[in-house]
Amino acid sequence: MAARDFAGRTVDSYVRAFTGGEVAARDIVDGLMDRVARAAPFNPIATLDAEGARAAADALDARYRQGAAFGRLAGVPVSAKDLILTKGLRTAFASRVMKDNIPTVDADAIAQWRAADAILFAKTTTPEFGHKVLTDSPLHGVTRNPWNRDHTSGGSSGGAAVAIALGLGPIAMSTDGAGSGRIPAACCGVYGLKATLGRVPHEVPNDQFGQLT
């Protein structure tokens, strides 16, 4: 099947399409990469892992052919803020100091996504160490509002909000200590949810928000 553009579809729509045989996971990813390329002027992506995403999709397709059971996010392309640890995929904290940092473990929330058969394809932009409510950094540059490039995307999870607004997957993982997920969601016209404190493990060392992220 030709690559499909699933922009705007819900999480359960992705899962049903893949598990029901409507579309292969590889086709979802190939269509997504076309959209990622078109989103470049808005700069939501800190690190793109096209090769890893295609490999994960191919593995899902192989399991589908074998009649395997799947997790609740099977075939769903997801991205994670560049402050969240991702095994084997650069987590630079938008800092030149950390630009070569490749974690050896996943954050627990990422591990849960992988266990649910989601396809991690990118890390999204943030200000350096997520320290402000604008999204720009010396390492990644400025992330632009998806509706008007002269306006801000908000922050510090600006890349996550812009990615969702531009159809780069239906969900993105952010962090939020004092509005870092909700502010860019408001600026970009998408939903930003902050989990109840204690719901999601926070493995990163103490930060300026006193573990409120």
Catalytic residue among 79, 137, 156, 157: 156
Any idea of the CA torsion for 60, 65, 67, 72, to the nearest 10 degrees? 20
d(C-alpha 179, C-alpha 206), whole Å: 17
Return the structure tokens found at 187: 């600026």
User: What is the CB neighbour count within 10 angstroms for residue 157?
Assistant: 35
3-state secondary structure of 61: helix
Q: Is 206 helix (H, G, I), strand (E, B) or coil?
A: coil
Catalytic residue among 153, 174, 180, 194: 180
Torsion angle (degrees, nearest 10) of CA 127, 129, 131, 135: 10
Q: Which of 147, 212, 210, 211 is nearest to 184 (CA)?
A: 147
Distances (CA, A) of 185 to 28, 154, 180: 24, 8, 9
Query: Are 120 and 101 contacting, i.e. CB atoms less than 8 angstroms apart?
Result: no
Is there a catalytic annotation at residue 13?
no
174: preceding bond cis by omega (within 30 degrees): no
Identify the active-site residue in 79, 81, 123, 153. Answer: 81
Note if 180 is an active site residue.
yes
* Residue 195 contacts residue 189 (beta carbons within 8 Å): no
Tell me which residues are annotated as active site. 81, 156, 180
